[in-house]
């Protein structure tokens, strides 16, 4: 196994390197690993390859398997939290006093709980993200960055990347390595679970509604791949925005209708950021939440994915609440936690403030936000904490240990970027999916994985934001 040395050799031969790069890009086109371009993101006339790494990244096989193996337990955990009103109330009490977005979500949760859940079928599609924390002795350990329980993305156009990577490895003579890049079939797996929920709803003519944003053109290709999978099963799919639902959606005996179509499943690809909502959108969300339609995710599952919940789960004894008498599962999940600290008012929160101010570069300060670009690093942590440390505003945040991943060398292929060897690190995301019907878990699956690499000069990640590139693990 000598990919690093090999890449270093390759870079010394520009002609050979350019040939390999061209080959990779052409294969990417062949496998639909494409992206709209930012200048004309509404148009299909000119597209490019989606950003990806020229070579896959080395990953210890045991850690790869560990990430897959813990996923069904994370599915169960998210589902249990979503139904535990007392836990959510207590865990989010400080946060909802000061964070308007979480408070609005929580308001919907309370309203739904008060009237009693209308639909006993629940479908969850999530993605648990990890980095490999690199130890001084050269070993690594799997540490969770966060779990996304709404609009978990990054599958679709990236599904066939392992085929490109295997081909490139073979093409440059790394045959043994080419057998170490695992397959992925994320879109198929995620859609199979949505399809199961639709089937349980039990009405042939009812649709799966993709709740999308108007400004979501970059993700549209991924949505289309899902739509195709569902239509292949003769499941009708429609895409609508919150605005569409607020104008033309209605409830009839709790059945959700839009444009005359009965909605079996609402699949949110949008609605995870404050900016995604107007007052009408909140009303539309409540309407769907109160309806008989199966929600992916329902409001409790959305809240279960907040960073505050992630932090509370890391407190001693909390996992045991959800897995009584199952210490092995507790250990398996807990092994993926890194240090997470409360900033609620009180002694514990005071200690967190002091610790962060003393060594800000060891931590990351996170508000209750999704979608990238919201966290604070280094001196910015000091600035924010100095401002909020003495009052309850600090409860809008959590503090987390900074994970230090191993640094690799790779070439990121991205339109308009130079072909050069840079220092990168990766994050692995594992997709989990489940359907519960009443008390019965009908399906609980680990669907697959995605790897994304970024230059180490960035704190944050994100493919559509222009930082990360799709990658594959080379498991050894």
* Cβ burial, residue 367 (10 Å; 0-12/13-18/19+): middle
Which CB atom, from 148 or from 310, has the smaller least distance to Mg ion?
148
Which residues inside 59-118 make contact with Mg ion, applying CB under 5 A?
none
Half-sphere exposure of residue 323: CA atoms within 13 angstroms, side-chain side: 18
Which CB atom, from 76 or from 144, has the smaller least distance to Mg ion?
144
Please state the closest distance from residue 401 (CB atom) to ligand ADP, in A: 6
Which CB atom, from 145 or from 433, has the smaller least distance to Mg ion?
145
Per-residue interface string for the shown chain with Mg ion, residues 273-312, x marking contact by CB under 5 A = ----------------------------------------
Which CB atom, from 192 or from 399, has the smaller least distance to ligand ADP?
399
- Annotate 47-88 with DSSP letters as a single string: EEEPPEESS-EEE-HHHHHHHHHTHHHHHHHHHHHHT-HHHH
Query: Under a CB-based contact definition with an 8 Å cutoff, are residues 348 and 287 in contact?
Result: no
Contact partner, 374, from ligand ADP, Mg ion, none, Cβ < 5-8 Å per class: ligand ADP
DSSP letter, residue 150: S
Contacting residues for 398 by C-beta, under 8 A, at least 6 apart: 307, 308, 310, 311, 340, 341, 342, 343, 365, 366
Q: Total number of residues binding Mg ion (CB under 5 A)?
A: 3
Residues near ligand ADP (CB under 6 A) are 129, 131, 145-146, 364, 366, 369-372, 374-375, 400, 402-403, 427, 460-461
The helix (H) or strand (E) run that includes residue 437 is strand 421-437
Terminal C-alpha separation, the chain: 9
Which CB atom, from 91 or from 293, has the smaller least distance to ligand ADP?
91
Contact between 427 and Mg ion by CB under 5 A: the answer reads no
Please state the closest distance from residue 263 (CB atom) to ligand ADP, in A: 28
Please state the closest distance from residue 144 (CB atom) to ligand ADP, in A: 9
- Cα–Cα nearest to 333, from 73, 150, 115: 73
Contact partner, 372, from ligand ADP, Mg ion, none, Cβ < 5-8 Å per class: ligand ADP
Question: 104: how many CB neighbours lie within 10 A of its CB?
Answer: 16
Please state the closest distance from residue 151 (CB atom) to ligand ADP, in A: 11
Which CB atom, from 236 or from 372, has the smaller least distance to ligand ADP?
372
Please state the closest distance from residue 366 (CB atom) to ligand ADP, in A: 6
Among all chains, which residue has been given the structure tokens 């897995």?
323
Distance separating alpha carbons of residues 454 and 410, to the nearest angstrom: 10
Which CB atom, from 240 or from 307, has the smaller least distance to Mg ion?
307
Which residues inside 348-387 make contact with Mg ion, applying CB under 5 A?
370
Please state the closest distance from residue 337 (CB atom) to ligand ADP, in A: 11
Strands 207-211 and 237-240: parallel
Please state the closest distance from residue 30 (CB atom) to Mg ion, in A: 31
Please state the closest distance from residue 144 (CB atom) to Mg ion, in A: 11
Evaluated on CA atoms 146, 149, 150, 153, the torsion sign reads positive
Angle between helices 71-82 and 327-334 (to 10 degrees): 100
Which CB atom, from 60 or from 367, has the smaller least distance to Mg ion?
367
Strands 207-211 and 261-268: parallel
Contact partner, 427, from Mg ion, ligand ADP, none, Cβ < 5-8 Å per class: ligand ADP
Query: Under a CB-based contact definition with an 8 Å cutoff, are residues 263 and 206 in contact?
Result: yes
Evaluated on CA atoms 183, 189, 191, 192, the torsion sign reads positive
Please state the closest distance from residue 193 (CB atom) to ligand ADP, in A: 22
Query: Under a CB-based contact definition with an 8 Å cutoff, are residues 281 and 226 in contact?
Result: no
Tokens describing residue 185 = 């079939």
Distance separating alpha carbons of residues 241 and 243, to the nearest angstrom: 5
Question: 179: how many CB neighbours lie within 10 A of its CB?
Answer: 13
Please state the closest distance from residue 388 (CB atom) to Mg ion, in A: 22
Which residues inside 130-159 make contact with Mg ion, applying CB under 5 A?
146, 148
Which CB atom, from 290 or from 454, has the smaller least distance to Mg ion?
454
Which CB atom, from 82 or from 148, has the smaller least distance to Mg ion?
148
Name the site residues for Mg ion (rule: CB under 5 A): 146, 148, 370
């Amino acid at each position: 196994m000598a990919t690093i040395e090999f890449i270093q050799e390759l870079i010394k031969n520009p002609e050979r390197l350019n040939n390999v790069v061209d080959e990779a890009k052409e294969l990417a086109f062949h496998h639909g690993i494409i992206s709209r371009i930012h200048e004309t993101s509404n148009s299909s006339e000119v597209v490019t390859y989606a950003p990806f790494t020229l070579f896959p990244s080395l990953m210890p096989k045991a850690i790869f398997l560990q990430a897959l193996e813990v996923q069904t337990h994370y599915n169960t955990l998210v589902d249990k939290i979503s139904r535990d009103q007392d836990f959510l109330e207590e865990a989010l009490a400080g946060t909802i006093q000061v964070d308007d977005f979480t408070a609005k979500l929580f308001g919907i949760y309370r309203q739904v709980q008060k009237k009693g859940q209308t639909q006993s079928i629940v479908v969850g599609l999530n993605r648990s993200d990890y980095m490999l924390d690199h130890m001084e002795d050269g070993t690594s350990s799997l540490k969770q960055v966060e779990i996304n329980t709404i609009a978990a993305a990054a599958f679709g156009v990236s599904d066939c990347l392992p085929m490109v990577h295997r081909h490139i490895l073979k093409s440059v003579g790394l045959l043994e390595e080419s057998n170490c890049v695992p397959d992925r079939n994320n879109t198929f797996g995620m859609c199979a679970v949505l399809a199961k929920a639709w089937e349980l709803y039990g009405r042939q003519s009812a649709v799966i509604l993709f709740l999308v944003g108007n400004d979501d053109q970059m993700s549209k290709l991924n949505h289309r791949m899902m739509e195709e999978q569902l239509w292949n099963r003769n499941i009708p799919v429609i895409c609508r925005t919150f605005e569409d639902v607020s104008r033309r959606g209605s409830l009839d005996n709790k059945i959700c209708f839009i444009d005359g179509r009965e909605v079996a499943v609402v699949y949110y690809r949008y609605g995870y950021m404050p900016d995604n909502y107007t007052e009408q959108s909140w009303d539309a969300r409540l309407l769907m939440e109160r309806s008989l339609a199966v929600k992916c995710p329902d409001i409790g599952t959305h809240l279960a994915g907040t960073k505050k919940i992630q932090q509370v789960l890391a407190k001693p004894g909390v996992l045991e609440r959800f897995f009584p008498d199952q210490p092995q599962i507790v250990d398996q999940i807990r092994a993926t936690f890194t240090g997470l600290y409360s900033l609620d008012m009180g002694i514990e929160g005071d200690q967190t403030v002091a610790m962060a101010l003393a060594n800000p570069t060891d931590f990351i300060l996170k508000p209750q936000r999704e979608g990238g670009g919201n966290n604070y690093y280094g001196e910015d942590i000091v600035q924010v904490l100095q401002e909020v440390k003495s009052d309850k505003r600090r409860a809008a945040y959590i503090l987390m240990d900074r994970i230090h991943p191993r640094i690799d060398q790779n070439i990121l292929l991205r339109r308009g970027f130079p072909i050069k060897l840079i220092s990168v690190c990766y994050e692995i995301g594992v997709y989990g999916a489940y359907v519960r019907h009443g008390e019965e878990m009908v399906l609980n699956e680990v669907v697959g994985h995605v790897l994304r690499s970024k230059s180490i000069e960035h704190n944050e990640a994100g493919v559509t934001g222009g930082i990360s590139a799709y990658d594959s693990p080379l498991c050894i």
